A and B are shown apart, each in its own frame.
Chain A
């Protein structure tokens, strides 16, 4: 068995709802990943720094506040500036389709909406991180 993929799950911004992030974190754990969970109200700078220290393969951002168009690009830029452009970024939350497309264009690998099943999320990320 190889090394488990490492993924940081973070909630940037000010909304206080982390149920979804926790459910996804649990599903990723059950899929065999090492999930670093950082909790609520993270700034983009904190997320980038944590991703760097933890040497993760991916970052998952949970955003329910509607601030995704501000917060996600700041995380993407921060990762790039820190020399971490190889880190894959996923977004989960309530994101309208045109925004989702814009985020993908900006470098986000996948955007998961409210209807996405944890099984699909976990298997998609697993596949993209391990190629298996």
Chain B
């Protein structure tokens, strides 16, 4: 496959094309991923997440700048939401990343979620692999403006940076489960605004208290709380240092490999689910599936029974099995 070879050799146009193929999810994209797979596993993948307007893009811009000065190449994937109505999207993260323009050691790609929940697009992890194979040392993945449960980044990145800004909530917000718990590094951005030190203190206490369970899961890593003013770069080198330190921590504890394995498992299960679902649907046929949907909608059977029956239909070979399964499930599950 010429395109993949060109991308591996550093051709940026080929790289961009391969990301599109992977993002569009067709057979060409799958073939490209298979060819790239042996070249992956070298990059440090860092997620940058946090609420809308906290300064994620600005921090990514500043962080990438610092890391470039240290001679490491940087790939950026910036995810923004697709409209549930039109399917269109406005991808505006590049506006804040103009400092990185013209640097051949940086590659920035915007991605729309295309209906995926969890703060990332379905293909984000695959696009990470493409950048990884192309040799970028650090890959920054900026999620959509996250609420409290857009946590997909935790499974996709080695290190998660959660960005907060002053004035977004009281101490109770800092105690809630979810986003803060997945943070390996907490950043209070816009530290030049009033309330920043207070926010950092509240987050620091929350991070400490999450300690027992949290630290055990993180192999003794204590989540640092760092203050930045990303617009002028203050505090950003310290964030870069913390990212490096976290990477070293993961490797020293054998957690890097464990993380890779978990990610491989999650991807495998995900692909297995989608592939088996698609094959099942193809085997059972649209018409019969719709029939069961109708029966469920008209209260003839419940959705769970309908789903189990259709699954049995798909796994069984002939029509006879289908009918038997239907009547036996009526006998056992209904009453």
B13 within 8 A of A: yes
- How many angstroms from the CA of A33 to the CA of B89 in the assembled complex? 6
- Cβ of A48 to closest chain B Cβ, rounded Å: 10
* A29-43 at interface with B (beta carbon < 8 Å): 29-39, 42
List A contacts of B88 (CB < 8 A): 4, 28-35
The total number of A-B Cβ pairs within 8 Å is 80
Beyond A35-B89, A55-B17, is A3–B24 a contact (Cβ under 8 Å)?
yes
Interface residues of B (CB under 8 A from A): 12-13, 16-17, 19-20, 23-24, 82-83, 86-92, 94-95, 98, 101-102, 107-110, 112, 114
- How many angstroms from the CA of A37 to the CA of B92 in the assembled complex? 5
- How many angstroms from the CA of A42 to the CA of B86 in the assembled complex? 28
Instruction: Name which residue of chain B comes closest to A3, CB basis.
Output: B24
A99 within 8 A of B: no
Partner of A29, one of B12, B20, B23, B90: B90
List A contacts of B16 (CB < 8 A): 52-55
Beyond A29-B86, A32-B88, is A39–B13 a contact (Cβ under 8 Å)?
no
Pairs across A and B, CB under 8 Å, 15 listed: A29-B83, A29-B86, A32-B87, A33-B88, A35-B89, A36-B91, A37-B94, A39-B95, A42-B98, A46-B98, A50-B101, A52-B12, A52-B16, A55-B16, A55-B20
Instruction: Name which residue of chain A comes closest to B21, CB basis.
Output: A55
- How many angstroms from the CA of A102 to the CA of B46 in the assembled complex? 47
How many residues from A make CB contacts under 8 Å with B? Answer: 29
- Cβ of B26 to closest chain A Cβ, rounded Å: 9
Interface residues of A (CB under 8 A from B): 1, 3-4, 25-26, 28-39, 42, 45-46, 49-50, 52-55, 82-84
- Since A28-B88, A30-B88, A35-B91 are in contact, a sample of 5 more A-B pairs with Cβ atoms closer than 8 Å, ordered by chain A residue number, is A1-B87, A4-B88, A37-B95, A39-B95, A55-B17
The answer to whether A83 and B13 have CB atoms under 8 Å apart is yes
- How many angstroms from the CA of A29 to the CA of B112 in the assembled complex? 11
List B contacts of A82 (CB < 8 A): 13
List A contacts of B91 (CB < 8 A): 34-37
Partner of B102, one of A38, A39, A46, A83: A46
- How many angstroms from the CA of A35 to the CA of B309 in the assembled complex? 43
